[in-house]
Amino acid sequence: MRTSPHLIKPTPLQVVMLKVAVALLPGIAAYAWVFGAGILLQVLLATVTALATEAACLKLRNYPIKPFITDGSAIVTAWLLALSLPPLSSWWMVVLATVIAIGLAKHLYGGLGQNPFNPAMVGFAVMMVSFPAQMSRWNAPLSLPSVDLTTWQQFGYILSGHLPQGLSFDTLASATPLDSVKTALLQQHSMSDIFSGAIFQSADWLSFLPSSVALIAVGYLLGGLYLLQQRIIAWPLPVAFLTVLLGMSGLFHLINPAQYTSPAFHLLSGAAVLGAFFIVTDPVTAPTTLRGRLIYAALIGLLTWLIRTFGGYPDGVAFAVLIMNIAAPFIDQYTQPAVFGRKPQGGVKHGH
């Protein structure tokens, strides 16, 4: 057996999930730097809840607990979900979203490898639809002069919902850049007014976009490049998604720059980079063929831009992914390559 041909040994699932978790660390570190250490508590809460829910579901289904609970898939789902929620979400929101992601979106369909929808995005979408007010309560980055929360004050707010005397969340709250721009455009303001400071003053974190949100996007980008280098994710998915998202935003920005945001703004705001490398690339819910992956990711990019531009939600990555999860099996069915030896549509036999 020392001579060719050889079969490539598949990478163990635990190794894959470990590398995905490692790839998320730069983004988590940047997130904590920009918004504070509260995100670390949210990641911890989501992780503990995911493992407990996973164990409970496996027990109910009479499956062995240890092999599945140690594969790392539940932890990766928990981290992605925690990073999708507002930075100071109450503990019950993190717990509820994680139970929905693991218990309903994953185990209700048969567990890992059987779920048709991305579990983390299901948890996020259910929370977004069910608790829109709480899901819109984003605190501003710590770089703003009006924000002065210590780590323990953030932990206290997440666990108890109370801030020290003299502080209120209203003084810390701020709309995200995507939400701020969409609201201003609906009020008939032009893009030049929005970014010149005529609409948003220096106290709004839109003015800190290059030093805040961009840093988080760079963290996710570094992790995504690592996954590509390790061949954990397939390149057509992030490339097609970002190409269409940036292409559509660039085209309409050239046509009417007063009403449509630039490609750079779409790239650095919201979950574009996180979605490109960590969500769209989910191997369970994405197609398996090359052409299918390109179509699938491209349509997610198109839907994301449409929802961001014309829809009712500031960011559209989660809903775009879930919509295309439904279509993934059909895309796979109609993009299968011709069977070896049979005539494809062009009339030429493979192997001749």
Q: What is the mean pLDDT of the chain?
A: 84
* Predicted model pTM: 0.86
Split at pLDDT 50, 70, 90, the class of 350 is: very low
Question: 49 in a domain, yes or no?
Answer: yes
Coil, helix or strand at residue 302: helix
- The total number of structural domains that make up the chain: 2
From CA 74, how far away is CA 49, in angstroms rounded?
A: 9
Tell me phi and psi for residue 162, to 5 degrees: -120, 145
Task: Give 3-state DSSP helix, strand, coil % of the chain, rounded to 5.
Answer: 65, 0, 35
| Cα atoms in the 13 Å half-sphere on the side-chain side of 73 | 24
Contact, 115 vs 80, CB < 8 A?
no
Question: 249 in a domain, yes or no?
Answer: yes
Tokens (6 digits) for 42: 């949210």
Query: What is the rounded average pLDDT of the residues 301-327?
Result: 92
Question: 347 in a domain, yes or no?
Answer: no
From CA 156, how far away is CA 223, in angstroms rounded?
A: 30
Is pLDDT larger for residue 66 or for residue 348? 66
* Model pLDDT, residue 203: 39
From CA 199, how far away is CA 185, in angstroms rounded?
A: 11
* Model pLDDT, residue 164: 75
Cis peptide before 5 (omega within 30 of 0): yes
Structural domain span for residue 17: 11-174
Q: Which of 74, 68, 71, 67 is nearest to 14 (CA)?
A: 71
Question: 339 in a domain, yes or no?
Answer: no
Contact, 268 vs 214, CB < 8 A?
yes
Give the H or E element holding residue 167: none
Question: 221 in a domain, yes or no?
Answer: yes
From CA 329, how far away is CA 144, in angstroms rounded?
A: 46
Q: Which amino acid is at 138?
A: W
Residue 181 and residue 170 in one domain: no
Residue 22 and residue 101 in one domain: yes
* pLDDT higher than threshold 70 for residue 174: no
* pLDDT higher than threshold 90 for residue 43: yes
* pLDDT higher than threshold 50 for residue 207: no
Split at pLDDT 50, 70, 90, the class of 202 is: very low
Percent with pLDDT over 70 in the chain: 80
Tens digits of per-residue pLDDT, 89-120?
999 999 999 999 999 999 999 888 899 999 99
* Model pLDDT, residue 13: 86
Residue 77 and residue 128 in one domain: yes
Residue 77 and residue 183 in one domain: no
Given 174, 207, 228, the domain boundary residue is: 174
Residue 96 and residue 42 in one domain: yes
Query: What is the rounded average pLDDT of the residues 167-173?
Result: 68
Residues 246, 143, 43, 236: what is their CA dihedral angle, to the nearest 10 degrees? 10
Cβ count near 169 (within 10 Å): 13
Cβ count near 238 (within 10 Å): 25
* pLDDT higher than threshold 70 for residue 151: yes
* pLDDT higher than threshold 80 for residue 189: no
Residue 197 and residue 301 in one domain: yes
From CA 23, how far away is CA 159, in angstroms rounded?
A: 28
Contact, 34 vs 141, CB < 8 A?
yes
Cβ count near 299 (within 10 Å): 18
Residue 278 and residue 202 in one domain: yes
Question: 101 in a domain, yes or no?
Answer: yes
From CA 202, how far away is CA 195, in angstroms rounded?
A: 11
Residue 237 and residue 159 in one domain: no
Tens digits of per-residue pLDDT, 240-264?
999 999 999 999 989 988 788 888 8
| Highest averaged pLDDT of the listed ranges 68-72, 212-216, 341-345 | 68-72
Find how far residue 262's CA is from the centre of its chain.
Answer: 21
Query: What is the rounded average pLDDT of the residues 50-77?
Result: 93
Residue carrying structure tokens 């979408």: 125
